[in-house]
């Protein structure tokens, strides 16, 4: 109930009025029945704008901490995230990845839409990174079709690491449903899972127009941080050398 209140009465109308998001390919999303919406991930605002373009509820999984924090703030946080279409990761599994899979399977078993970001984390530089195979395993274990999705412009509206962004009109594109039933029963074959995931990521790349990098986003962030640290250290050495005795004497 709170989900629809936020979407159609409270938050949704404000976002529509201010940003006027555009959507293409909405007819590719079934009017009923389970489906996996696999999207790129440029900003924390993605999970607001993509569901806004659909008449159906889209559910994502979120950290359990968002739903278990104590006090008044924790209560409001729990209500907001649950009302915005997020459910906690099922911690009955051995790890977070397995818990997310359990939660996703429950959502799809109920005939609902499940949203997932195969990259696993937000892109820090606007590029599209290698997808994790959880989306493929989910598709094979549930039999649900995968609908590739691209959200463009949210990194301008809500850029990572900044409180405020700039105005732009976000665009959401939905691709044709991908059916992987031909691989039924092969959810434990890592080569099949990789092949399916790469096919999904290719469709997302085609829809988003992003440059694709065959590297996990988390690894790319680590490499860029290491490059930045090395560059800072080298600059510090140059500055130190430039302020040596010869420079001081002159």
CATH code of the domain in which 74 resides: 3.40.1130.10
What is the pLDDT, as a whole number, of residue 91?
60
Q: Are residues 221 and 191 in the same domain?
A: no
**% of residues, the chain, pLDDT over 70:** 93
- Per the prediction, the chain carries an average pLDDT of 90
Q: Are residues 232 and 116 in the same domain?
A: no
pLDDT of 147-188, one tens digit each? 999 999 999 999 987 877 899 999 999 999 999 999 999 999
Q: Residue 93's pLDDT band (boundaries 50, 70, 90)?
A: low
CA distances from 151 to 9, 41, 80, 199, 229 (A): 23, 8, 22, 18, 31
Q: Are residues 82 and 7 in the same domain?
A: yes
Residue with tokens 């900003």: 43
Q: Are residues 28 and 149 in the same domain?
A: yes
Q: What is the mean pLDDT of residues 120-135?
A: 95
What is the pLDDT, as a whole number, of residue 88?
75
Q: Residue 46's pLDDT band (boundaries 50, 70, 90)?
A: very high
Structural domain that includes position 237: 216-250
Q: Are residues 42 and 115 in the same domain?
A: yes
Domain count, the chain: 2
Reported pTM: 0.88
């Amino acid at each position: 109930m709170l989900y629809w209140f936020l979407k159609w009465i409270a938050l949704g109308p404000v976002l529509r009025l201010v940003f006027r998001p555009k959507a293409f390919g909405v007819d590719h999303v079934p009017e009923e029945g389970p489906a996996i919406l696999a999207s790129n991930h440029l900003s924390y605002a993605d999970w607001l704008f993509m569901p806004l373009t659909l008449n159906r509820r889209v559910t994502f999984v979120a950290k359990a901490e968002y739903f278990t924090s104590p006090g008044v703030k924790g209560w409001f946080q729990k209500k907001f995230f649950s009302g915005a279409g997020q459910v906690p990761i099922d911690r009955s599994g051995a790890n977070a990845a397995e818990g997310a899979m359990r939660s996703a399977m429950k959502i799809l078993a109920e005939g609902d839409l499940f949203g997932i970001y195969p990259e696993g984390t937000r892109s820090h530089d606007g590029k599209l990174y290698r997808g994790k195979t959880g989306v493929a395993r989910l598709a094979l274990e549930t039999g649900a079709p995968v609908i590739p999705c691209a959200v463009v412009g949210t990194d301008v509206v809500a850029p990572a690491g900044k409180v405020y962004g700039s105005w732009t009109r976000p665009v959401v594109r939905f691709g044709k449903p991908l059916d992987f039933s031909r691989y039924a029963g092969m959810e434990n074959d890592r080569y099949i899972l990789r092949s399916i995931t790469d096919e999904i990521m290719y469709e997302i790349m085609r829809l988003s127009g992003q440059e694709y990098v065959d590297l996990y986003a988390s690894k790319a962030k680590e490499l860029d941080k290491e490059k930045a640290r090395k560059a800072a250290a080298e600059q510090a050495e140059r500055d130190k050398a430039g302020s040596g005795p010869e420079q001081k004497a002159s």
